[in-house]
């Protein structure tokens, strides 16, 4: 933060050549400057460069109030908070005023009184851009007094003022946000009668309290956020209010898994100790992100609810913690995440999706496993040939050696608690598995993750069986296993 400007009186401010600007002019001018300089304003926002951000920039250039409309977890609030980057770093105000009046464009009776009393010696303070952001979550209990204000009868009595006098008003959040960005999150949750109170503020800039009309040229940039009305069961945005909001901008989920990965890595809160201990292979992270994409397309999930980006963020944090816990229990200092560790992220998935009737019938746990199975299947096909489409009569089966090993009655039991060395040794014990992965040109540092993917993928395509009991995952040939059981029964 730069040093606060040294100007302390109105006279000094006038001598400096300061010219007042409205908030929207200020934001417009600073955006124009940022565009000319090629400077990115909305840092940390990914996937919106060709869609949401151009719409938002056009709205700012047009001096429009904005409604960000989208499903949960689409960075609506993050976008709103980044708008402060378009404000001047410091702006002057008249010290001692409730509404932080511009010294050269005062609007309150209090400010005019101070100017008459002190003239050019009126004391000046400075507001940083971070102080010019106000955010309110709309809830059914929000009142007009909270947002607009109310009459203070005690103040009126003590100072012998009429109720129509502005000086007896106790201002609410919106007047106190004069010269600031004011954000109302989840606008449909605001009761209709409260939404009506916003009409004149948006259109005319004045407020009315208890039947007394007070003309205040409030200088506020409004940003509203909301889920689509067909999803929000708690309420809706009344039509006259929507008509007064100049720009409605639709947000969306990441359309590219790489963008989704970037968001997850940016937003996940991983301790330095865990980061030093745990490596998450790119492949494993790809599968994790694919879980969210599969959930958004699933018939088990209510499409009107959406699947928040917080799902993959929480799941990634849980995945790292699952590995960290295993390493601590085994007395190891470093290790890698495995597909087998995904059972530790199920709690981060089940609470992040709103299921339809069919999903409720399946149960949250089974639905979460369903997402993971589909994600594994999808990633398997990205890297390896589809075992169902091989012409085994004509072409050599690339999975032949692996499948033959299981057909011979062998099985592979992977424990969630396996040490790094034990896990690697078990995978390499499967005949042909390591050679197959190396033939695909996989980097040696990641080959264990791909070897594990081969087994999971073959199980998803029902080439081998897979059983999960407790924390043990067993891969086997179901037919060979059944024949072995029959032989054991005959021997008995």
467 alpha-carbon distance from chain centroid: 35
Q: What is the mean pLDDT of residues 295-322?
A: 93
Residue 119, pLDDT score = 94
* Interatomic CA distance for residues 185 and 139, integer angstroms: 9
Q: What is the mean pLDDT of residues 341-350?
A: 91
- For 321-366, give the DSSP string: HHHHHHHHHHT-S-EE--GGGGGGGHHHHHTT--B-HHHHHH-HHH
239-280 pLDDT tens trace: 889 999 999 999 999 999 999 999 999 999 999 999 999 999
Say if residue 406 is exposed, middle or buried (CB neighbours under 10 Å; 0-12, 13-18, 19+). Answer: buried
Residue with tokens 């009868």: 153
User: By mean pLDDT, which of 41-55, 395-409, 447-461 is the weakest?
Assistant: 395-409
- For Cα atoms 456, 257, 283, give the angle at the middle one, nearest 5 degrees: 35
Residue 10, pLDDT score = 95
Q: What is the mean pLDDT of residues 124-153?
A: 89
What tokens were used for 3? 């040093």
User: Residue 464's beta-bridge partner residues?
Assistant: none
Count other C-beta atoms under 10 Å from residue 14's C-beta.
13
Listed in sequence order, the residues at least 6 apart from 224 whose beta carbon sits closer than 8 Å to its beta carbon are 65, 66, 67, 68, 183, 184, 185, 187, 237, 245
Question: Given strand 247-250, what is the order of strands in its sheet?
Answer: 133-137, 180-185, 220-226, 66-69, 247-250
Q: What is the mean pLDDT of residues 67-73?
A: 93
Listed in sequence order, the residues at least 6 apart from 428 whose beta carbon sits closer than 8 Å to its beta carbon are 434, 451
Residue 139, pLDDT score = 87
Residue 395, pLDDT score = 62
User: By mean pLDDT, which of 18-32, 196-210, 328-342 is the weakest?
Assistant: 196-210
What tokens were used for 36? 């000319």
Backbone phi and psi for residue 42, each to the nearest 5 degrees, phi listed first: -95, 70
Question: Phi-psi bin for 211: left (phi > 0), alpha (psi -120 to 50), beta?
Answer: left
- For 401-416, give the DSSP string: HHHHHHHTT-EEEEET
Name the pLDDT band for 5 (thresholds 50, 70, 90).
confident
CA distances from residue 184 to 65, 125, 168, 181, 221 in whole angstroms, order as listed: 12, 27, 26, 10, 11
Q: Is the pLDDT of residue 66 over 90?
A: yes
CATH class of 10-250: alpha beta
Name the pLDDT band for 197 (thresholds 50, 70, 90).
confident
Residue 78, pLDDT score = 95
* Interatomic CA distance for residues 355 and 314, integer angstroms: 19
Q: Is the pLDDT of residue 487 over 70?
A: no
442 vs 170, which has greater pLDDT?
442
Q: Is the pLDDT of residue 79 over 70?
A: yes
- Ranked by mean pLDDT, the top range of 286-295, 441-450, 480-489 is 286-295
Residue 1, pLDDT score = 44
Q: What is the mean pLDDT of residues 101-129?
A: 93
Name the pLDDT band for 46 (thresholds 50, 70, 90).
very high
- pTM strictly above 0.75: yes
Residue 351, pLDDT score = 85
Percent of the chain scored above 70 by pLDDT? 89
Residue 205, pLDDT score = 65
Residue 419, pLDDT score = 97
Angle between helices 257-267 and 310-330 (to 10 degrees): 60
* Interatomic CA distance for residues 319 and 472, integer angstroms: 17
Name the pLDDT band for 157 (thresholds 50, 70, 90).
low
203 vs 389, which has greater pLDDT?
389
Q: What is the mean pLDDT of residues 157-173?
A: 71
Name the pLDDT band for 284 (thresholds 50, 70, 90).
very high
Are the C-beta atoms of residues 300 and 370 closer than 8 Å to each other? Answer: yes
210-220 pLDDT tens trace: 656 667 788 99
383-420 pLDDT tens trace: 999 998 876 655 678 999 999 999 998 999 999 999 99
CATH of region 257-383: 1.10.8.80
CA distances from residue 5 to 15, 84, 99, 178 in whole angstroms, order as listed: 14, 19, 20, 21
Q: What are the extents of the domains in the chain?
A: 10-250, 257-383, 389-491
Q: Is the pLDDT of residue 486 over 60?
A: no
Residue with tokens 């999971």: 456
Q: What is the mean pLDDT of residues 162-191?
A: 85
Name the pLDDT band for 4 (thresholds 50, 70, 90).
confident
What tokens were used for 86? 């378009």
Q: Which of 178, 183, 72 is nearest to 136 (CA)?
A: 183
Q: Is the pLDDT of residue 231 over 80?
A: no
């Amino acid at each position: 933060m730069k040093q606060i400007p040294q100007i302390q009186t109105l006279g000094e401010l006038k001598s400096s050549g300061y010219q007042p600007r409205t908030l929207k002019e200020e934001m417009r001018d600073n955006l124009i400057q940022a565009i000319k300089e090629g400077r990115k304003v909305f840092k940390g926002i990914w996937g919106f460069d060709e869609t949401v951000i151009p719409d938002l920039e056009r709205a700012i250039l047009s001096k429009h109030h904005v409604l960000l409309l989208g499903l949960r977890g689409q960075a609506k609030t993050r976008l709103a908070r980044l708008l402060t980057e378009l404000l001047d770093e410091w702006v002057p105000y008249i010290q001692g005023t409730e509404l932080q009046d511009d010294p050269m464009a005062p609007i309150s009776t209090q400010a005019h009184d101070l100017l008459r009393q002190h003239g050019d010696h009126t004391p000046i303070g400075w507001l940083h851009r971070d102080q010019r952001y106000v955010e309110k979550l709309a809830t059914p209990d929000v009142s007009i007094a909270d947002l607009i204000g109310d009459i203070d009868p005690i103040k009126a009595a003590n100072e012998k003022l009429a109720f129509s006098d502005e000086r007896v008003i106790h201002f609410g959040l919106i007047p106190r946000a004069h010269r600031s960005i004011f954000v109302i999150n989840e606008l449909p949750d605001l009761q209709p009668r409260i939404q009506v109170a916003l009409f004149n503020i948006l259109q005319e800039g004045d407020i009315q309290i208890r039947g007394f009309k007070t003309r205040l040229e409030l200088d506020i940039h409004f940003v509203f956020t909301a889920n689509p009305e067909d999803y929000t069961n708690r309420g809706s945005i009344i039509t006259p209010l929507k008509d007064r909001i100049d720009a409605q901008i639709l947000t969306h989920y990441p359309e590219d898994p790489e963008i989704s990965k970037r968001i997850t890595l940016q937003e996940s809160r991983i301790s330095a100790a865990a980061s030093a201990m745990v490596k998450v292979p790119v492949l494993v992270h790809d599968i994790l992100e694919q879980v969210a994409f599969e959930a958004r397309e699933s018939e088990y999930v209510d499409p009107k609810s959406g699947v928040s980006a917080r799902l993959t963020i929480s799941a990634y944090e849980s995945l790292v913690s699952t590995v960290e816990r295993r390493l601590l229990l085994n007395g190891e200092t470093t290790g890698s995440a495995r597909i087998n560790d995904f059972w530790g992220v199920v709690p981060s998935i089940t609470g992040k999706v709103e299921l339809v009737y069919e999903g409720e019938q399946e149960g949250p746990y089974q639905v979460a496993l369903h997402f993971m199975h589909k994600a594994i299947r999808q990633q398997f096909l990205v890297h390896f040939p589809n075992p169902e489409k091989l012409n085994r009569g004509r072409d050599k089966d690339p999975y032949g050696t692996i499948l033959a090993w299981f057909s011979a009655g062998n099985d592979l039991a992977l424990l969630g608690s396996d040490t790094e060395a034990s896990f690697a040794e078990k995978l390499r014990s499967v005949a042909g598995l390591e050679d197959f992965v190396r033939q695909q040109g996989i980097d040696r540092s990641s080959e264990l993750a791909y070897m594990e993917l081969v087994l999971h993928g073959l199980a998803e395509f029902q080439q081998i069986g897979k059983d999960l009991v407790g924390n043990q995952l067993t891969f086997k040939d179901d037919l060979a296993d059944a024949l072995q059981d029959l032989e054991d029964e005959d021997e008995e």
